[in-house]
Structure 1
């Protein structure tokens, strides 16, 4: 089976790729944006509309014929999240409160101006982070008094296990500080429920503080009366100066250079997979960074190790999720959107735009794992596959026996 035939088979098998009429109106599109019409089905919207929003959700307004049944919402945009504004930056989050299906993981998008600090804190959940823009410095200690400090740039990761105290400070850069994505291994996480050093000090009697630190009570006269959360601070010193000795360095560094990894290269794009086999500190979150060329497809697959939490970095795409019981639903995604796939549900992701589609996949698991539909069919007795699918035997015989993570256009 040649490459063109293989691609033709996969495209034909893709959920939502059914042939549609060529008339724009019949396809559910007009000059005003998508409308709920598919061939002879559907009708115009006569009541109030939000054309700008509908234009972002073409496959929601006019879903492909292969969509069926009821699946929960699997999309949320950070643009719809409450923005917490502070002196020196902001934060917004996507949790089960914003996206109820997102029970396994949650996310926070945060911005720190140069020298601004996300104050010293810890939380019950583990924290995984991807640097979106700019530069930052992180510090931490572990339960044995071992220390960590490092500077990060775009495409770098950090991971702090649950309960590990840490801080984040924006550094001077071409974008005045930094912006990053945080992912937590619990969908019920709340950024407002972290344990903050200033909050604790403010709610401890000063005589206890004096006894604990061996200082006079007067030393605590100027401690903040409430949490600082995000606040401007003095410019940090050198990284070498901030690397305090303590009981030595942590055994597994809390930082990993994801985009410095050699990618898996395919004709349709690149893939970088980062789990505990490479980033040894990251015990509860595994991730992958995909870059799909226009028209390329993240092949039809599913994950045997948990729910999938996605974040879209650039471009436009669509994903159809198959939920068994004849249920399937298609969603549109663009930069700043969060996608979610419940455990073991089949799906694909297609680049529907004219530029690269870049997105992150995260899992509450130490290891990254996926199962390929095409590979499963190729490695199952072909007569059995033919009995199920009614495909020509030659097409089945030509299926790739190795995973094709990204299928080219």
Structure 2
């Protein structure tokens, strides 16, 4: 192993250590690991975030990882940005109230999604045996989760006589307001869901459009030999202002060459490992390696792909600061252009072009017949050595 190097990081990023021969030019950093972010701990869990201060290219989306212990509560609060969430592990109870005083209370589990629009007050509480762990995405790259409108922070800064007048009670009612930040705090488990729904419903009823999307039980939009894709936007989740895709790639499979014409893509690796290739109009191209906990970013209209280079499923999220998912596939572009014209560009022969599927595939499998010598468990074995070498 070469001295004076961070060998662990070198092994995690073989595409930087030994770039693809197709990489060219100088490109911004398209990846940022959550592990580089500072974690803040509270009695009820922990939180860390990635925004434009950490990940300069990510101008339109910021992300937060949050862990709540069993019973742990993310304090009642609201944001200046929409909050999109994906539950990675466990179960949690989410609550909200809209501008018409209509309630929302629901339990969501691993694989489910929620969306709270701008300014809608809400809360989150861990329910599972180990609480819950989830990803939050906000449609503003400068979003800072520590600059949020918290219930107790607000009330501490309102005179007691004003609070008393607002609620028509005596001022001493508020003598025991918490004097320290709650943010995420330990608590007991809530009452049964049906009971809390009944209590919240008094007088006004439930929101007309749910803030939860039970993606864990929904069929995939696309199912291929190489994996699945679930697309979530306002077509199937009407309340959302943030579109997303949940992609699962089998070992060796490819999220096909494509681009998004209407929004930047902020992506997050849930589990597994892979690599992402990006091409820019200035002829620069780069490849980055991704694994669980990594955030990626691809600007609008920038061609790219994601490939599973591991031995297990690669699951990642594509998140867009827009309410409609749009993607243009290289394959369908060529399939629906006259074969004569494309052949004059590529010299592949018209037979190849005529055989390209006419519908969008999203996912392409690893074909063992065509690539029998391809290894899906590549390790960088340059001067930094393999992982096995480092453990000797």
Same fold per TM (> 0.5)? yes
* 3-state SS of paired residue (1:377): helix
Q: 2:36 & 2:161 partners in 1: Cα distance?
A: 45
Matching residue of 2:159: 205
| Total equivalences in the alignment | 362
Matching residue of 1:137: 93
* 3-state SS of paired residue (1:240): helix
Q: RMSD of aligned C-alpha atoms?
A: 1.1
Matching residue of 1:178: 132
* Contact 1:259–1:272 under 8 Å retained in 2: no
Within the alignment, does 1:111 sit opposite 2:67 as a pair? yes
* Contact 1:307–1:341 under 8 Å retained in 2: yes
Matching residue of 2:374: none
Post-superposition shift, 1:350? 0.6
Post-superposition shift, 1:331? 0.2
* Contact 1:118–1:167 under 8 Å retained in 2: yes
Post-superposition shift, 1:235? 2.3
Matching residue of 2:340: 383
Q: 2:88 & 2:122 partners in 1: Cα distance?
A: 19
Post-superposition shift, 1:234? 2.9
Post-superposition shift, 1:70? 1.5
Post-superposition shift, 1:396? 1.6
* Contact 2:79–2:149 under 8 Å retained in 1: yes
Matching residue of 2:210: 253
Q: 2:352 & 2:57 partners in 1: Cα distance?
A: 38
Post-superposition shift, 1:305? 1.2
* Contact 1:374–1:403 under 8 Å retained in 2: yes
Within the alignment, does 1:190 sit opposite 2:144 as a pair? yes
Matching residue of 1:29: none
Q: 1:349 & 1:313 partners in 2: Cα distance?
A: 14
Matching residue of 1:122: 78
Matching residue of 1:85: 41
Q: 2:89 & 2:271 partners in 1: Cα distance?
A: 13
Matching residue of 2:118: 162
Post-superposition shift, 1:227? 2.3
Structure 2 residue corresponding to 1:274, chosen from 232, 245, 251: 232
Within the alignment, does 1:371 sit opposite 2:328 as a pair? yes
Post-superposition shift, 1:226? 3.2
Structure 2 residue corresponding to 1:316, chosen from 259, 273, 282: 273
How does the TM-score come out when normalised to structure 2? 0.90
Q: 1:130 & 1:103 partners in 2: Cα distance?
A: 21
Matching residue of 2:16: 60
* Contact 2:60–2:140 under 8 Å retained in 1: yes
Q: 1:328 & 1:133 partners in 2: Cα distance?
A: 35
Within the alignment, does 1:342 sit opposite 2:296 as a pair? no
Q: Deviations over 1:237-289 (max 9, x none)?
A: 1112211114111110011111211112111111111111111111x211111
Structure 1 alignment gaps of length 5 or more? 1-31, 33-44
Q: 1:251 & 1:52 partners in 2: Cα distance?
A: 50
Post-superposition shift, 1:169? 0.8
Matching residue of 1:331: 288
Q: 1:261 & 1:161 partners in 2: Cα distance?
A: 22
* Contact 1:119–1:229 under 8 Å retained in 2: yes
Deviating runs (4+, > 3 A) in structure 1?
Answer: none
Post-superposition shift, 1:208? 1.0
Structure 2 alignment gaps of length 5 or more? 367-392
Q: 2:274 & 2:218 partners in 1: Cα distance?
A: 24
* Contact 2:209–2:238 under 8 Å retained in 1: yes
How does the TM-score come out when normalised to structure 1? 0.87
